[in-house]
């Protein structure tokens, strides 16, 4: 089963949660964006939330439910 992937990314002085090219919400603080991203990811398991730094690098990842990657074997 494929997991849903969400990202918290900088957005012109604010932060947004996105899935692919679709924006799911914009927030004043990174903390608030991460909170909302975690709620969305939990509601759509299996999923992963990838949190980025202000310069776009990956800071941390949260995986919810069984992680299908790497596959067993």
Domain containing 19: what range? 4-64
Domain assignment present for residue 72? The answer is no
pLDDT tens digits, 26-38: 999 999 999 999 9
Domain assignment present for residue 60? The answer is yes
pLDDT tens digits, 32-73: 999 999 999 999 999 999 999 999 999 999 999 876 556 555
Domain assignment present for residue 69? The answer is no
The pTM assigned to this predicted structure is 0.87
Domain assignment present for residue 70? The answer is no
Per the structure, the count of domains in the chain is 1
Please report the pLDDT score of residue 2 as a whole number. Answer: 82
Calculate the alpha carbon distances from 22 to 17, 29, 67, 70, 71 in Å.
9, 19, 23, 26, 27
Domain assignment present for residue 14? The answer is yes
Domain assignment present for residue 71? The answer is no
User: 30-65 in b/e burial notation, b at 16+ Cβ within 10 A?
Assistant: bebbbebbbebbeeeebbbbbbbeeeeeeeeeebbe
């Amino acid at each position: 089963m494929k997991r849903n992937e969400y990202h918290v990314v900088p957005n012109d002085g604010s932060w947004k949660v996105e899935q692919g090219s679709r924006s799911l919400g914009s927030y004043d603080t990174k903390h608030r964006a991460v909170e909302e991203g975690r709620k969305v990811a939990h509601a759509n398991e299996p999923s992963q939330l990838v949190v980025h730094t202000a310069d776009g690098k990956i800071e941390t990842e949260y995986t919810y439910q069984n992680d299908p990657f790497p596959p067993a074997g």
